[in-house]
C-alpha cells in the first residue's frame, strides 16, 4: 500500500487492502464451517455409545493441535523471513 500511495494510486492501495480483508474473512468462515461440519460428522460416527464423547473430544484435541502446529509454523516462517529481509 505504501508503494501505491507513493505512486499516487491511493484508491488502488485501499481497494487491495479491502480485497485482502475480504479474502481473509471468506477463508476463516470456510474453515469454521468445515470445523463445525467435521464435529457433527464425528458425533454421528461415534453413535450413542459411552465412549463416543471421548472419541469426539479426542478428535477435537487433535484438530486443535494441528491448528496450533500450523500457527507455530507460520510464526517461525515469519521470523525467518524477517531475519532474511532485515540483514
Write the pLDDT tens digit of every residue in 6-56. Answer: 666 656 566 777 788 888 889 999 888 888 888 777 777 766 555 567 777
Q: Note if the pTM is more than 0.95.
A: no
If you write DSSP's letter for every residue of the chain in order, what string do you get? -HHHHHTT-HHHHHHHHHHHHHHHHHHHHHHHHHHHHHHHHHHHHHTTSTTHHHHHHHHHHHHHHHHHHHHHHHHHHHHHHHHHH--
Q: For helices 52-85 and 10-46, give the axis angle rounded to 10 degrees.
A: 150
Domain enclosing residue 70, as ranges: 2-85
In total, how many domains does the chain have? 1
Amino acid at each position: 500500500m505504501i508503494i501505491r500511495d507513493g505512486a499516487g494510486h491511493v484508491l488502488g492501495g485501499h481497494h487491495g487492502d479491502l480485497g485482502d480483508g475480504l479474502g481473509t474473512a471468506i477463508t476463516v468462515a470456510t474453515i469454521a464451517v468445515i470445523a463445525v461440519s467435521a464435529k457433527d460428522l464425528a458425533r454421528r460416527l461415534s453413535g450413542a455409545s459411552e465412549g463416543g464423547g471421548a472419541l469426539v473430544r479426542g478428535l477435537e484435541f487433535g484438530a486443535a493441535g494441528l491448528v496450533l502446529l500450523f500457527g507455530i509454523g507460520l510464526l517461525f516462517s515469519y521470523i525467518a523471513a524477517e531475519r532474511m529481509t532485515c540483514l
